Amino acid sequence: MGAEDQGRVKILREVAALRQTVANWRAAGESIALTPTMGALHKGHVSLVALARKRASRVVMSIFVNPTQFAPNEDFGAYPRTFGADVAMFAAAGGDVVFAPDVAEMYGAGFSTLLNVAGPAAAGLEDQFRPTHFAGVATVVTKLVNQCRPDIAIFGEKDYQQLKVIERVARDLDLGAEIIGAPTIREADGLALSSRNVYLSPEERKAAPALHAALQRCAAGIRGGGAIDVALAQARASVEAAGFIIDYIEARDAETLAPLAAPIGAPVRLLAAARLGKTRLIDNIGV
């Protein structure tokens, strides 16, 4: 009940079944990694599984398109859902369990709790454009960690502000899992892999790498001693010239996401979000 077998990967739909499987592993002395996703897997997700396998003996991937992190005007209904292919990719990557609850299992009747997150979640980046997003992310990640109780949970640096929010939540709420960040996997032309890249038209796909290229030039300029404001202005101009409408391109303290204060002592992260037609792309790099 609640479990289907697909090769050696077990598909679980219920929290109780996940808890039982993890308890059995624990009793056998295994260590457990959780990799939360919304499915539509690509090589970026696979890299999280590869890292998970190095750090733990069992790997759980959650696949759950989380309604509470989408605003009503966003793409919850249209978000790509490719479950069969996802399970095959996860199996090929050597994972053990796909946890794929439905919305009713995750948010039962009367569900009433959403985390109120500040700190990195209020850095003036994604939160300005998606004001309810991180409350939904923090809530579902807290639930997933409580449901699975892994030793480690792995998140991509691709969603850098999200990673910082989750690190904060894990410390603040004693989640008991070590949060690990994994590097961004890119196409050969620099475009960060994303489930939303399938929305790009062929012309938009050609223009899309300009975002990463602008961040790279910006980082090189800052490393070379150039003024940060000038480097950011150049990056914004070149991203606009490539046809994007910019939500933000900013430089922040890499750890806290606070605005930079002179003189710059701590590591700097460049973070960007910009729209090409109907597709919103985000990216970030270290300086």
> At which residue do the structure tokens 């696949």 appear?
63
Q: Edge-to-edge strand order for the sheet containing 245-253? A: 245-253, 268-276, 279-286
Closest approach, Cβ 157 to ligand AMP, in A, equals 7
Least spacing, CB of residue 263 vs ligand AMP, in Å:
31
56 or 193: whose CB is closer to ligand AMP?
193
Minimum Å gap between C-beta 80 and ligand AMP is 10
In this structure, the strands spanning 97-99 and 152-156 are unpaired
**159 is an interface residue for ligand AMP by CB under 6 A:** yes
Q: Which one of 79-87, 99-107, 188-196, 262-270 is the stretch in contact with ligand AMP (CB under 6 A)?
A: 188-196
- Structure token pair of residue 12: 């679980």
Catalytic residue among 42, 45, 133, 212: 45
Chain positions 191 to 230 lying near ligand AMP, rule: CB under 6 A, are 192-195
Q: How far is it, in rounded angstroms, from Cα 248 to Cα 159?
A: 14
Residue 13 contacts by C-beta under 8 Å, 6 or more apart in sequence? 2, 3, 99, 100, 101, 102, 105
By CB under 6 A, the residues from 17 to 46 that bind ligand AMP are: 37-38, 44-45
Nearest-approach distance from CB 152 to ligand AMP, in angstroms: 13
Query: 176-195: string of b/e by CB count within 10 Å (b at 16+)?
Result: ebebbbbebbbeeebbbbbb
Binding segment for ligand AMP (CB under 6 A), chosen from 186-194, 230-238, 260-268, 277-285, is: 186-194
Radius of gyration of the chain (CA): 19
Q: Which is nearer to ligand AMP, 50 or 260 (CB)?
A: 50
Closest C-alpha among 241, 252, 267, 40 to residue 128: 252
Q: What are phi and psi of 286, to 5 degrees?
A: -80, 155
Residues 44-63 that bind ligand AMP (CB under 6 A): 44-45, 47-48
Of 156, 222, 164, 220, the closest CA to residue 186 belongs to: 156
User: For ligand AMP, which stretch binds (CB under 6 A), given 126-134, 154-162, 222-230, 268-276?
Assistant: 154-162
Q: Identify which of residues 141 and 231 has a Cβ nearer to ligand AMP in the complex.
A: 141
Q: Give phi and psi for 209, each to the nearest 5.
A: -65, -15
Q: Is 45 assigned a catalytic role?
A: yes
CB of 159 to ligand AMP, least distance (A): 4
Residues at the interface with ligand AMP (CB under 6 A): 37-38, 44-45, 47-48, 155-156, 158-159, 182, 184-185, 192-195
Active site residues: 45
